[in-house]
Amino acid sequence: MLFVFQINIGQEKSKIEIKKSPFFDKDKEKFPDASILTRDNNEQVLISHDGIIMTCNQAYFYEEKNFIEAYGEVNLNQGDSLNLTANYIEYNGDLKLAYAKGSVILNEPQSILYTDSLIFDRNKQEAFYDNYGKLIRAQTDTINSKIGTYYVNEKKYRFENEVDLKTPKYLILSEILDFFTENGKSFFYGPTNITTNNSKIYCEIGYYDTTNDLGYFIKNSKIDFKEYVINADSIYFDKNKNFASAVNNINILDTINKSITSGHYAEIYRNIDSMFIQKRALISSFKETDTTYIHGEKIIVTGKEGEKIIRAFDNGTILRGNISGKCDSIHFNESTGMAELINYNNSESKSRKIKKPILWNNNSQITGDLIKIKFDIQKNTIDSLFVLENAFIIEKDTFEVGYNQISGKNLYGNFIEGKLKEIDIIKNAESIYFLRNSDNELIGIDKSKSAKIRILINNQLINSFVKINQIDGTTFPEEDFVEQNKLLKGFFYREEEIIKSVEDLFKDDRKFTLASIKQLENK
């Protein structure tokens, strides 16, 4: 074994001392510069140097070189910090460097390392191997790697190349892993996979506390819980509580419900089937037909499979194909298939102008005090619509000379194959409708009151409507339709708020900043 190290010329060198040797011999032909030290039946050879004690069955001592070769049951002890055993150890007193070979075992207070060969640099207080090693801690944690370095003062190992850390609860595979033997914390760098009995974890920077089962995963981090998969810039994981929190660019794939939840801060409590997400929070349900998007500045999801309840708070918005809506809060019950669009006139909502919940069906605007959308969960289609109290429909006339309007107490709508086909306005129904012939020529403007109005929709536009129990009504020529008759009471057209794209769901959100993740900023 060849060592090439730089030595400070002015450095004072202590001499290796032979404390005990039952037999002492010389062989000037084979070993002209060495003294041969041999044990007897009772005692081994005992050697010391600057704070270490070494014992062996036989040693070749090169006094002039301050160098010794020890054979057979060799033990090198450095106080209570380290104990090294091997079949063979050579030790350079000037360099304070030991090379161990053959059944090498490195003991420190919390762990035992097994390897074939090892270098121990006492000046740096570092032990190094590069031909595979196995570490055992607390009799249950086992780490294998091709290369390893033990930093005595830090009580830390750095494992490199083909690293695997096994415990009864999980397996960690990594390229570089720092392991602190006192507390069982492991820090990993580069592609890392962690497998537990109910999850698979991936990251490229992170740590795991093997004693307390806590983990923090950064850079392309991912946790696969079988029923859903979490991706984020960083994820914190507490296995004991079955809890995870995620920060920045979060994407949670629900493989069972076929949905994706996204945002920039999330908390997941698996034991109580609960999830909280905020900062551009969005749930995208992509079952067989159109994708349904539900947004709120904060979203809470609770309940078991098939019984989940979604609550989207503060700027609740929804989009599905040509249908979209907004309100203060959206409440969706998976077991009933009912989504409610609600406005709360409380202190939190007063920071924004108070408006009624609103729904757009293509060019038709629908408002009311409460809007309910009934989904067919099995088919993943919209089944029906309910607008309760102060229902109001507005649609621009074909040539935008005015507005078709229908108002009443309640509204009930039916969907066929996911498209709104029929609407009933119940109680105190009023209407203004621009009548056109087959050539789309305006022939008059109808204004009337009825007990009920039934609206038929074709190609997502109002095609015709039937007035039931009409109270009064007048058809005006365009020139006689005076300004004060053009709008029904409660008219409020909100064209600038129409949601046409996923990005529009967020346009009224409060501004926020992403959390800073220093480990990513430094990369």
Q: What are the sequence ranges of the domains in the chain? A: 15-130
φ, ψ at 271 (rounded to 5°): -65, -30
pLDDT tens, the chain, 523 aa long: 333 333 344 456 799 999 999 998 888 777 788 899 999 999 999 999 999 999 999 999 999 999 999 999 999 999 999 999 999 999 999 999 999 999 999 999 999 999 999 999 999 999 999 999 999 998 888 999 999 999 999 999 999 999 999 988 889 999 999 999 998 899 999 999 999 888 899 999 999 887 888 899 999 999 998 788 999 999 999 988 989 999 999 999 988 778 899 999 999 998 898 999 999 999 998 766 678 899 999 999 998 887 889 999 889 999 988 889 999 999 999 889 899 999 875 544 455 556 789 999 888 899 999 999 998 877 777 889 999 999 999 988 877 778 888 899 999 988 887 778 888 889 888 888 888 787 778 888 888 888 888 888 776 666 777 888 877 778 888 787 777 778 999 899 998 999 999 999 999 899 988 888 876 665 4
Q: How many CA within 13 A on the CB side of residue 123? A: 14
Q: What is the pLDDT of residue 461?
A: 65
Q: What is the pLDDT of residue 7?
A: 39
pTM of the shown model:
0.81
Q: What is the pLDDT of residue 353?
A: 59
Long-range CB contacts for residues 464-469, cutoff 8 Å, separation at least 24: 465/406, 465/431, 465/433, 467/429, 467/431
Q: What is the pLDDT of residue 138?
A: 84
Lookup result for tokens 């003294």: 35
Q: Is 116 in a helix, a strand, or coil?
A: strand
Q: How many CA within 13 A on the CB side of residue 90? A: 12
CA 362 to chain centre: 36
How far is Cα 221 from Cα 518, in angstroms, rounded to an integer? 15
How far is Cα 230 from Cα 224, in angstroms, rounded to an integer? 6
Q: Is 198 in a helix, a strand, or coil?
A: coil
Lookup result for tokens 């009504």: 473
How far is Cα 194 from Cα 200, in angstroms, rounded to an integer? 6
Domain spanning 15-130: which CATH class is it, in words?
mainly beta
Strand partners, 188: 177, 206
Q: What is the pLDDT of residue 419?
A: 77
How far is Cα 298 from Cα 311, in angstroms, rounded to an integer? 8
Q: What is the pLDDT of residue 9?
A: 40
Q: What is the pLDDT of residue 279?
A: 94
Q: What is the pLDDT of residue 398?
A: 74
Q: What residues have CB less than 8 Å from 298, skipping those under 6 apart?
A: 276, 277, 278, 281, 312, 313, 314
- Work out whether the CA dihedral 170, 260, 190, 162 comes out positive or negative: positive
